[in-house]
Amino acid sequence: MLLLASIAGPNVAASEPPRTGAPTPPLAPQAPRGSAPKPSETVPIDPTKPGETKPGESPDPLALYVVVEATRRHFDPIAIPPVDCHAPGELCAVVQDVMAGDAKLSGVVKPLEHPFAKVNLPREPRRTWEPDWASYKGAKFLLAARVEGSTVGVLVDWRLYRVADKKLVEVKGPPRQRMAPGKLRLHVHRYMNALVEALTGTRGVFDTQIFFARRTAKDGRGIFRMDMDGANEVPIVTDPGIHMFPSPGRSGLLYVSFRGGKPDLFRLPQASSTLGRMMRPAATPMEGDVAPPGHEQLSRDDNQYRKGSEGPDGRIVVTINDGDQADVWLLDSVGNPLKNLTKHPSDDLSPTWSPDGRKIAFVSNRQGGPQIFVMDEDGTNVRRITYYGGYNVDPDWGPDGRIVYSASVGTAIDVVTIDLQGRMQRLTPSQGRCWDPTWSPDGRHVVYVSDEGGGKSRIWVSTADGAARHPVSRTPSEYFTPAWNRVPAGERALK
């Protein structure tokens, strides 16, 4: 999200108490060294109501745009009976829970909640098995599993059937092999990826990971990583202080930290216990760096840095605030400034690369309230693309060319997608306040933060058309700026 502090939206009365995670009014752009200003990447809020214009500005083209609401569509019902368990119960429960959870998140099938009887699959995978078809009336698919093994090693067999014609569906899942129990969740995720591919032609992303920031103390924030379904939360950057804006890329994890008294840009080349192939030279340590061991400090001037994004060729776009205003800058792969891309008297921030690295989307208040703009990679051909709502922030450019962002109209804050022709879809209508959206690697899901249901914010995953939305974070906390790791597995320094 563009903003991290907890505040009210642009059209909320000043007397209304802030709500956790919602956009905030601007904070001071520069704080003296040694102080610890609250993290905020902000632009002044436009007092003009959506649809109005200011002197010298063209009429708002809002009338030219139509916002499509979240899709209401049918999900194929799938029966997932209790697994045929020949292993410790906790291992069978993992298989059952991951299958059902991934099916629910898929946006393709919907698990039936009928209490099916346990199946009895033959031990030999090629041996014929005839289900009790009458038990699965109402299901389009039947997913049955057999789990065998111990706490030393476990083996899983699956069968996917199309109920109408009682035929097996070929699923090109992971190899059939005994594995350590610690790898069981990943193994099931990869089978479910293959199941989605068998039904849609596009492989699933259940084995991918999401980075995010969350509150760790009264005034602290750390960076964590979890699986798509919220399991296996792992601390990544948790030394005392404020750490935010995680942004995974081919070279590692970019993030911003206040550990030096002001927001600086850092990189963690190795963000897990598995070190992948390094894709670029490392930044050279320098005297005065405050990066802990294993981390690289990329910014070493008096400016304030905000959210960075690594492009396909390793170059970085980042927000730099010199104390008077914020601009979008282009850096080389080790943090050396190359060019001020916006160089405008207004505030320009939250840059995100297009998939081909030829364009950059960003937020600017150059026409009043914050809106989403697009420019070429060299800073030319700047044009505004959002007109719906008076406060549009948090852009993320997805694999299929659409941009997802947070749109504020009145007191509502919704997740909206838009393409370069202006076609929009609102994914979260009337679902609380929703912000900080980013795309999944396949462009079929969006992860975001929401206070839907009240209480503290949580991380949610939605289908790209808004047809299904589910909370995934499991630790009660305040969450900020989730970022889906979209780097292909073979190209990651983050595994």
- Whether the pLDDT of residue 42 is over 70: the answer is no
More confident residue, 65 or 242: 242
Backbone angles phi, psi at 129, to 5 degrees: -135, 130
Mean pLDDT of 23-42: 32
pLDDT tens track for 403-416: 999 999 778 899 99
Select from 316, 188, 167, 319 the least CA-distant residue to 253.
Answer: 316
Q: Are the C-beta atoms of residues 91 and 79 closer than 8 Å to each other?
A: no
Chain centroid to CA 420:
21
Cα separation of 330 and 343, whole Å? 12
| Residue written as token pair 């789990």 | 147
Domain count within the chain: 2
> Tell me, what's the pLDDT at 398?
95
> Tell me, what's the pLDDT at 278?
37
Q: For residue 311, name the pLDDT band (cuts at 50, 70, 90).
A: very high
- Whether the pLDDT of residue 59 is over 70: the answer is no
> Domain for residue 45, yes or no?
no
- Whether the pLDDT of residue 27 is over 50: the answer is no
Same domain, 258 and 390: yes
> Domain for residue 68, yes or no?
no
Same domain, 238 and 159: no
Q: Among 177, 200, 223, where does a domain finish?
A: 200
Cα separation of 430 and 355, whole Å? 30
Same domain, 349 and 246: yes
> Tell me, what's the pLDDT at 284?
65
> Tell me, what's the pLDDT at 412?
85
- Whether the pLDDT of residue 28 is over 80: the answer is no
Same domain, 255 and 300: yes
CATH code of the domain in which 112 resides? 3.40.50.10070
Least confident range of 32-46, 91-105, 352-366, 382-396: 32-46
- Whether the pLDDT of residue 57 is over 90: the answer is no
Q: For residue 19, name the pLDDT band (cuts at 50, 70, 90).
A: very low
- Whether the pLDDT of residue 306 is over 50: the answer is yes
Q: For residue 70, name the pLDDT band (cuts at 50, 70, 90).
A: confident
Element (H or E) spanning 310, and its range?
strand 304-310
pLDDT tens track for 133-170: 999 989 999 999 999 999 999 999 999 999 999 999 99
Q: Give the percent of the chain with pLDDT over 90.
A: 65
Mean pLDDT of 4-15: 27
> Domain for residue 364, yes or no?
yes
In the 8-state DSSP scheme, what is residue 490? G
- Whether the pLDDT of residue 314 is over 70: the answer is yes
Same domain, 262 and 348: yes
User: Residue 391, exposed/middle/buried by CB under 10 A (0-12, 13-18, 19+)?
Assistant: buried
> Tell me, what's the pLDDT at 460?
96
Least confident range of 118-122, 264-268, 303-307: 118-122
More confident residue, 135 or 73: 135
Q: Among 200, 234, 260, where does a domain finish?
A: 200
Average pLDDT in the chain: 83
> Tell me, what's the pLDDT at 453?
80
pLDDT tens track for 442-490: 999 999 999 988 778 999 999 999 999 999 999 878 999 999 998 765 4
CATH code of the domain in which 436 resides? 2.120.10.30
Q: Are the C-beta atoms of residues 320 and 305 closer than 8 Å to each other?
A: yes
Tally of CB atoms within 10 A around 305: 26
> Tell me, what's the pLDDT at 109?
97
Mean pLDDT of 398-405: 95
Note down the domain range covering 96.
Answer: 76-200
Same domain, 480 and 351: yes
- Specify the 3-state DSSP secondary structure of 282: coil
- Whether the pLDDT of residue 56 is over 70: the answer is no
- Whether the pLDDT of residue 222 is over 90: the answer is yes
In the 8-state DSSP scheme, what is residue 189? H
> Tell me, what's the pLDDT at 10?
28
> Tell me, what's the pLDDT at 64?
55
Same domain, 140 and 216: no
pLDDT tens track for 115-127: 898 888 888 877 8
Same domain, 150 and 276: no
Mutual orientation of helices 89-105 and 184-200 as an angle, nearest 10°?
30
Mean pLDDT of 304-324: 95
Same domain, 344 and 235: yes
> Domain for residue 44, yes or no?
no
Mean pLDDT of 328-356: 96
Q: For residue 37, name the pLDDT band (cuts at 50, 70, 90).
A: very low
